[in-house]
Amino acid sequence: MSIVINPVTRIEGHLSVELTIENLGGHDQITEARVSGELYRGFENILAGKPPQDAVHLTQRICGACPVSHGLAASKTVERSAGVTAPNNARLLRNLILGANFLHNHILHFYFLTLFDYAQGPASTPWSGGWGDDPRLSSMVDNLKKALTAKRTAHAMGAILGGRFPHPASFLPGGFTTDVTAQRIQEFQSRLSTVQTFINTTYLPDVQRLAELYSEEFSLGQGHGHLLAAGGFDESEGLFFSGGYLLAGAQEVKTFYSGSILESVVHSHYADAKPTPPRSGKTETAWNKDGAYSWIKAPRYGGWAFETGPIARMTIAKGYKGGVSVMDRHMARALEASLLAAKMQQWLGELEVGGAVWNEFQAPEAARTYALVEAPRGVLGHWLELQDTAISHYQIVTPTCWNASPRDEAGIRGAMEQALIGTAIADQSRPVEAMRIVHSFDPCLACSVH
């Protein structure tokens, strides 16, 4: 039989999941899966003809969950068009507001988007109607208010340095607009310490406890198992998270050449074209195209369908030694939050009060550039072309494009589709196993259909 879950709730945006469930070997399991992005946004086309500086603010409006990553990717892409780099203070300020966004995101994801696949929520709207009912997790539900405070505090940290959150106003090609003052550092630092304590004494232990209770989910939702990271958080030399790719079962992280990304549209609602690199790809809608079932394109690298996100960053850059599964995704996300909070304390200490935060930027007549950054959900790329000092071409590939992509020309499923295949479903009227898999990716559909 076929089950359609539409809309998938407790995510950002409009996602539909269609599952074929068959009885094989005496039990019901998922034998086919189609993941669809249900909405078209059109940001890439909106940007055409605009001054490049506008990309920094317009692309942030793709998403309220990860606007910082879009602001950062656009700032870098645009400043590179003029060969300008941001001063050291701006690098640190950018890391700090991106970090604040990661901490906010990861706490929100566990307590508000994931937990109710396992536990019953409070007996009031909007918590009723979930599929979780495990009474052993009631202490985690009791942490909901603390989690809300912690995520709000992380948001406030971003506003202290970003001017406002979400959609910080302080990004600027060539730097950042916030002056570094002792007061701002102190205000950020006191909040960071609060959030860091919450992560280390509540969030991480709660995830570890869930992983103990549901250890079988270290083999749930494994999928292709190929991991991709661009690398992110600039250090004075190198990156805090190094990038690369790791194929399932391989030991060695390989170099990732972003020029080899190809986007397929064979099953997407876009005019037919062969797989194309984003530097020349187009976004031309073709609703009702035969065989199309998603507004998400299908990025591929070397022909593989990669998964990206905290599990990829932690495995590739920080020696996380689990596998790739539902519970590994949650563990990697929580461990990343802890690691990042500690690192942010260090970046804060490196800020120079009163030091320069921007370098002059002037848009060149013509240029072609790109930037890859790490967003909370993984690899984010922006590609820019300028003509007559205006944007003539802009393409974006977001993390959820990788994770929730449809099939490609070779019939290879996207990462989330593949992770669903083979999953045993105990009760077809409540396919909670499928939701646990989908939620473990932290999908953002607003980003994916940009």
Q: Does 405 bind ligand NFE (CB under 6 A)?
A: no
Which of 47, 103, 371, 444 is in the footprint of ligand NFE by CB under 6 A? 444
Q: Which does 328 bind (CB under 5 to 8 A by kind): ligand NFE, Mg ion, none?
A: none
Q: Does 438 bind ligand NFE (CB under 6 A)?
A: no
Q: Residue 447 corresponds to which tokens in the numbers above?
A: 């980003």
Q: Does 62 bind Mg ion (CB under 5 A)?
A: no
Q: Does 307 bind ligand NFE (CB under 6 A)?
A: no
- 434 or 447: whose CB is closer to Mg ion? 447
Helix (H, G, I), strand (E, B) or coil at 278: coil
CA 10 to mean position of chain CA atoms:
15
Give the span between the Cα atoms of 394 and 43, in whole angstroms: 9
Q: Does 377 bind ligand NFE (CB under 6 A)?
A: yes
Q: Residue 389 corresponds to which tokens in the numbers above?
A: 């000092």
Return the range that interacts with ligand NFE (CB under 6 A); candidates 14-22, 222-230, 321-329, 441-449.
441-449
Return the range that interacts with ligand NFE (CB under 6 A); candidates 24-32, 335-343, 346-354, 395-403.
395-403
Q: Does 404 bind Mg ion (CB under 5 A)?
A: no
- Helices H / strands E in the chain, number of each: 14, 15
Q: Does 448 bind ligand NFE (CB under 6 A)?
A: yes
| DSSP, res 115 | G
Q: Does 398 bind ligand NFE (CB under 6 A)?
A: yes
By the 8 A CB rule, do 401 and 297 touch? yes
Return the range that interacts with ligand NFE (CB under 6 A); candidates 267-275, 350-358, 394-402, 408-416.
394-402
Minimum Å distance from CB 448 to ligand NFE? 5
Residues within window 44-63 making contact with ligand NFE, judged by CB under 6 A? 63
Which of 348, 396, 425, 445 is in the footprint of Mg ion by CB under 5 A? 396
- 106 or 407: whose CB is closer to ligand NFE? 106
Minimum Å distance from CB 372 to ligand NFE? 11
Give the span between the Cα atoms of 313 and 14, in whole angstroms: 26
Q: Which does 377 bind (CB under 5 to 8 A by kind): Mg ion, ligand NFE, none?
A: ligand NFE
Written as one letter, the residue type at 164 is R
Give the span between the Cα atoms of 153 and 197, in whole angstroms: 12
Q: Residue 409 corresponds to which tokens in the numbers above?
A: 């020309």
- 12 or 79: whose CB is closer to ligand NFE? 12
Return the range that interacts with Mg ion (CB under 5 A); candidates 130-138, 198-206, 248-256, 390-398.
390-398
The 10 Å Cβ neighbour count of residue 116 is 27
Paired with 241 in beta bridges are: 232
The 10 Å Cβ neighbour count of residue 397 is 26
Q: Does 308 bind ligand NFE (CB under 6 A)?
A: no
Helix (H, G, I), strand (E, B) or coil at 33: strand
Which of 8, 11, 12, 222 is in the footprint of ligand NFE by CB under 6 A? 12
Exposure string over 78-114, b if 16+ CB within 10 A, otherwise e? bbbbbebebbbbbbbbbbbbbbbbbbbbbbbbbbbbb
Contacts of residue 321, defined as CB under 8 A and 6 or more positions apart, other chains included, come to: 315
Give the span between the Cα atoms of 23 and 1, in whole angstroms: 9
Q: Does 311 bind ligand NFE (CB under 6 A)?
A: no
Q: Does 337 bind ligand NFE (CB under 6 A)?
A: no
Q: Does 108 bind Mg ion (CB under 5 A)?
A: no
> In which residue are the tokens 């292709």 written?
224
Instruction: Compute φ and ψ for 159, nearest 5 degrees.
Output: -70, -30
Minimum Å distance from CB 42 to Mg ion? 10
Which of 376, 406, 414, 431 is in the footprint of ligand NFE by CB under 6 A? 376
Dmax (CA) for the chain in angstroms is 69
Minimum Å distance from CB 284 to Mg ion? 12
Residues within the interface to ligand NFE (CB under 6 A)? 12, 63, 65-66, 69, 375-377, 380, 398-400, 444, 446-448
Residues within the interface to Mg ion (CB under 5 A)? 396
